[in-house]
Chain A
Amino acid sequence: MAASSSLRLGVLYPREMNLYGDRGNVLALVRRAALRGVELEVMTLGLDGGPPQEIEACSGFLIGGGQDLDQLALAHDLVARKGPALREAVSGGAPLLAVCAGYQLLGKHYRTATGDLIPGLGILPLRTEAGPRRLVGNILVAANPGLGLSNPLLVGFENHSGRTMLEPGLQPLGEVVRGEGNDGDSGAEGAILGSVIGTYLHGPLLPKNPALADWWLFAAADRTGTTLDRSHLDDSAEEAARREAIQITLRGSRARGYRLLGRRARIRRTG
């Protein structure tokens, strides 16, 4: 593709998959692209839209989190209608960042608590099953060095009942430093395969992890042959928010306190 000064972000199902401030990720990409001298055009690939030619025109993709109800409605559209073009784009190097329910939908299937099987796109060789309790809280992840992030400590919040099992050979996005990750047990968080990243760090993941936003932008630029300023940006506001989040996450007693104090604390909460 010829060099150009713009990139196009395809946001999959923004209406349905925007449970926890996923919009923050779009804002982060748009802002950082602008700071790097590139206009990022945002394209909505919704339930009623996103024909193959629109998907082909995108430099990369985001898919966010949603309720289980939404997933059922979306899975069919994702697999049957958008699947082939999306698969083609990511095999050509287009970055795809999938968060929470979006991550689960990229796997082979999601088995709900009621036993329903939601088929996934199968881009990532993994399976997810609903677990007995939700995995909730602040999370710190040491990102896979293979990603080459300028700052490999990822900061976020997770909230999922799904337990995701990676098939042998599939690399996790990183190792859990604090928190639960894919299954609360293995110490693995997320998955990475080529230009596809799936993660349970939900909602506004990119504002507080500008290195990961840059990963997406650089991959999108590489794929489309777009020239983009790759120098270091002033991330002082981002760093301040990261420090705040890291400090709070490292106060480890909070996770245990949450379960003990949960009921009593709700009493003080009023409408």
Chain B
Amino acid sequence: MSWADPRTRLALLAGKVTAWASRGLRMGGGTTLPGDVARAIDPRVLRKLAASPRRGTVLVTGTNGKTTTAALLRRMATAAGWRTGGNQSGSNLIYGLTAAAIAHADLRGRMDVDWLVLEVDELSALAAARELRPEILVVLNAFRDQLDRSFEVDQVAARLGEAVAALPETAVAVLNSDDPRIAALDGAARTSLFGIEDREADRGGLPESADRPVCPRCGTSLHFDAVYYGQCGDYRCPACGWSRPSPAMRVIRVIGAGLEHVELTLAGPGGGVGPVEVPLAGAHNAANVAAAAAAALEMGADWDQIEHGLQQFRPAFGRSQVVRWRQRQVRLLLAKNPAGMQASLEAVLGGDAGPVLGLALNDGIADGTDISWIWDVEFEKLATVGPRWIVLSGRRAAELALRLRYAGLAASRLLVRPAPEEALDELAERAAPGTAAPALLTYTAMLAWHRTVVGAGGAKPFWTEG
């Protein structure tokens, strides 16, 4: 069929040569450049690869948790005996998805893959849904993220809604019941919902950083009976009566015991799992587990396979990853927006955090150049509980220090160390032996710290419980 088209074959060849060359030359563009090149030759190349996975494609989108949820889902699929492919590098725009698809295909466009499980940027989800015609689209949440890119959270939700509405008739949308903007997306032929139903995990009210959602039916501010993270919880409209739809896949118990793991119990159609410990922190990650489980059931996995996948799971790069620095351990937690920073901070304070905490704020393009959001994170709790010292790092370390002073922390607790090495030194020096000092970092700060750790003599990264 279309493989007779010499243009497509040339695009595939050029994409593969580009990937090979950029890896060989260490250009660092190997995860997206092949997509640019191939699409320049044949803009329809991704559409033509859409039918190549034997069983199909799953797309995972939303502001926070894409990488983790896609990784969870691949583990579950592997446990079910399927071969999976994905974009583990995190290149999640249409060019990155194209590069990933080409990497898994041969020169005739065939793939030795049962499922492609791809994370996709929220604003690229519509293009990805149209080109890849996925069997499943998982939509996790819509938080305030990088608003200097001009998209407000309602606009992001609207774009996600367009992606859901663009799904093929046979596809299923796996949606988060707890996020009102996501639960209200009703454009798919079939919908499968997931959510948390454990009132003991209620954090008691919306955090300052939450975007207070209004009822999609009548515009009235929603009332929350429970909040688990961000604006996600159990809600209803006091005016028209619209309320959170009941999910089929439920987290019926979630216990966040610090940063090392979250213990959760899932209940869903035909079974359940747990209690099981997953090496991730916080209620938001329990929701990611539920999202992956809901998608896995839709793929045809059974509950044993889901449980087995969870047991095999190890966190992805920078998601609660423990690294060594000068004979001590530091736990790196990506915190790229207010919802993520708030959730990670609560996880830090929920366990025995130890004597020192690191915070690193960069304002690079990939972080978002607007750092106003740190004023919405509730650092005030650190004034009375939590680590004795806070190490502040990154290009905007002084802004973080100012934020914490205004949160009521004494200047004597704040150690401003802009460069990664100095900050890591400070954390290592003050960390309790045998425990990992937590550090919450924005995206490029995470990259910089990781590079520093890997580059330092003898310091090697390793995975939690590696």
A residues contacting B by CB (< 8 A) are 15-16, 18-24, 27-28, 31, 67-69, 73, 134, 136-138, 157, 159, 161, 202-204, 207-208, 237-238, 240-241, 243-245, 248, 254, 257-258, 261-271
For A15, list chain B residues within 8 Å (CB).
212, 221
Does the CB pair B406–A28 fall under 8 Å?
yes
For A202, list chain B residues within 8 Å (CB).
372
B residues contacting A by CB (< 8 A) are 31-32, 60-69, 90-93, 95-96, 119, 121, 140, 144, 146-150, 152-154, 208, 212, 214, 219, 221, 336, 363-366, 369-376, 395-399, 401-403, 405-407, 411, 416, 443
What residue of chain B has the Cβ atom nearest to residue A264's Cβ? Answer: B32
* A137-B148, A258-B365, A266-B366 given; A18·B402 CB < 8 A: no
Residue among A27, A257, A258, A261 with max Cβ neighbours from chain B (10 Å) = A27
For B402, list chain A residues within 8 Å (CB).
207-208, 237-238, 240-241
Does the CB pair B91–A243 fall under 8 Å?
no
Closest 9 CB pairs of A and B: A271-B66, A270-B90, A21-B375, A203-B372, A24-B375, A265-B365, A21-B372, A20-B372, A240-B398
Number of A-B contacts (CB under 8 A): 149
What residue of chain A has the Cβ atom nearest to residue B122's Cβ? Answer: A271
What residue of chain A has the Cβ atom nearest to residue B414's Cβ? Answer: A237
B323 CB to nearest chain A CB (Å): 18
Residue among B31, B96, B153, B365 with max Cβ neighbours from chain A (10 Å) = B365
Bound CA span A68–B403, Å? 28
For B147, list chain A residues within 8 Å (CB).
19-20, 159
Partner of B411, one of A67, A208, A237, A238: A237
Does the CB pair B66–A270 fall under 8 Å?
yes
B26 CB to nearest chain A CB (Å): 16
Bound CA span A23–B380, Å? 12
Bound CA span A15–B376, Å? 12
Residue among A69, A261, A269 with max Cβ neighbours from chain B (10 Å) = A269
What residue of chain B has the Cβ atom nearest to residue A27's Cβ? Answer: B406
Does the CB pair B406–A241 fall under 8 Å?
no
Does the CB pair B152–A19 fall under 8 Å?
yes
A185 CB to nearest chain B CB (Å): 19
* A159-B370, A241-B402 given; A263·B93 CB < 8 A: yes
Bound CA span A266–B374, Å? 21
* A263-B93, A266-B121 given; A23·B150 CB < 8 A: no
